[in-house]
Structure 1
């Protein structure tokens, strides 16, 4: 008489045996109150944007009768009139020039200065880093009056260059503070190996430092471009000719000219903010990853 013994323990699945890894524990969902608060915050954030965009598809009578309703019928003429306007595209090009030039200069100068602060040891290094950090505590509103006097003496008012240079100066502290941890995290052994192979300091900077610090460079570039695109106070003080207006100033001028046409103003406003909104949303992961790398460094 033969007896058979059955193993009461369950056999591991093939996928588990093949990987050799224990199953991942799923995190608990948490309290429903947390999700409710998150939904409320998201709604409060997106509601103004949705109201502006949808308001551009309505007419003034719809906005007066039912301000919070949906377009019925949809009016595409507001957007088409703005898109066919030469004023809008002139201001759009001015914003692209200011934002692009500011971003290029801030990233180029910022990564160069951060490289010196992070990789070199010299007297006054800590003081230099402290000065850049102190620059974060002085918003542009504090220096707008003396800045206008300086730009007037340099004959840079009513020019896009008079907007670009101050934005570069006020954008450098944030860029350097973010990039210094990235450059400090690069091992010294890599620099020593590059030096043994005959790589110069500039060669090490362009071949090794820039590729390794690319997440931080992209992060600072995105933040700089969005801040420059949305800048209003500095162009308001520097620019007085309508031919050099950027989109934030163009919204004010358009609102003053068409104060009674609220739907057209909403259409102009939504078209002005969409490029920065799309740009920021498309690179959101790179921004978060770059900031996390700066904290870890």
Structure 2
């Protein structure tokens, strides 16, 4: 190549630095975020008012309903907890709710493991029978349940409520937990059997920890409706000392209809366990609801 050809060859164009394009958020995403935050604020506003008004005196609530609780006054909690028998109602709710959740979750977990692992026409029929319980709300059967409990001597019994709530939660619990058991590889059970583990050891030590998010999710979703249920305790209980919080609150409201501060304190006492439960189990609930979405 001659020197003249080298001089006349055109030079390559200069390389321009690439500019990074800014990622714009879709309009729909922005509107959705604003709508969700607005809904969250509107949903939390009554809760905030309930808590703040519980730390004010009744005279302050009458003169300034939306004022700040300063200085805070906890006298209404003493009235609700001792004079209003909220302590007794609180203990009754804990016994009934935790007992029912324990019965429902234990039975459903063991049944789900068997239904998910045994390939049999009979077991499919049993699973369909369990899941058919989701088709009818349990409150529609209040009359036959009352006659059944009367025949069994379970009227005015907290044990009867525990068994009732535990049995009513089995269909939903099996529907959720059996799905998780089917996602667990069968090779894990075969490896456990080769190591000398029996069926019970395989279930407790290997399978149960793998489906823990589902078990926690089911327990939380059963805890809330049992804790808030009003109809069955009202119909099946006679002794006021056995009332749970939802029924006890009605009696407390009737006795303190003019003491608004004490009423707000009673509502806060009823709500605290639900808030604490969701705060402690949020991670497990999210894991249980989103498991399998990336598969």
When normalised by structure 1's length, the TM-score is 0.85
Q: Which residue of 1 aligns with 2:179?
A: 181
**1:26/1:167 CA distance change after superposition, 3 Å:** farther
- Residues 1:70 and 1:145: Cα distance change in structure 2 (over 3 Å): farther
Q: Which residue of structure 2 aligns with residue 119 of structure 1?
A: 117
Residue 44 (structure 2) pairs with residue 66 (structure 1): no
Give, in whole Å, the separation in 1 of the partners of 2:267 and 2:34: 30
Pairing of 1:61-140 with structure 2 (within 5 A)? 61-85=59-83, 87-140=85-138
Match of 1:20 in 2: none
Aligned residue runs from structure 1 range 260-279, under 5 A: 260-279=258-277
Deviation at residue 176 of structure 1 after TM alignment: 0.7
User: Counterpart in 2 of 1:13?
Assistant: none
Q: For the Cα contact (< 8 Å) 1:178–1:291, is it kept in 2?
A: no
**CA-based RMSD:** 2.5
Deviation readout 1:66-106 (Å, 9 max, x if unpaired): 33333355332112322344822211111111112112111
Cα drift, residue 270 of structure 1: 0.8
Deviation, structure 1 residue 133: 2.5
- Does the 8 Å CA contact 2:133/2:171 hold for their aligned counterparts? yes
Shift of 1:33: 2.3
Distance 2:24 2:193 in 1: 47
1:210-289 paired onto structure 2 within 5 Å:
210-289=208-287
SS of 2:155 mapped into structure 1: coil
Paired with 2:85 and 2:220, the residues of 1 have a C-alpha distance of 26
Q: Is the 8 A contact 1:99 1:225 kept in 2?
A: yes
Please point out which of 147, 150, 156 is paired with 1:149: 147
Pick from 37, 40, 43: which aligns with 2:38? Answer: 40
Measure, in 2, the Cα distance between the counterparts of 1:189 and 1:94. Answer: 45
Provide the aligned length of Structure 1 versus Structure 2. 277
Runs of 5+ consecutive residues of structure 1 not aligned to the other structure: 1-7, 11-24
Match of 2:6 in 1: none
Q: After TM superposition, give the deviation of residue 27 of structure 1 in Å.
A: 8.4
Cα distance 1:151–1:296, how it changes in 2: closer, same or farther (>3 A)? farther
Say if 2:25 is the partner of 1:28.
yes
Quick check: 2:176–2:218 contact (8 Å CA) kept in 1?
yes
Structure number, greater radius of gyration: 2
1:216–1:294: 8 Å Cα contact kept in structure 2? no
User: Which TM-score applies when normalising by structure 2?
Assistant: 0.85
Aligned with 1:141: secondary structure? helix
Unaligned runs of 5+ in 2: 1-14
**More deviation in 47-56 or 161-170?**
47-56
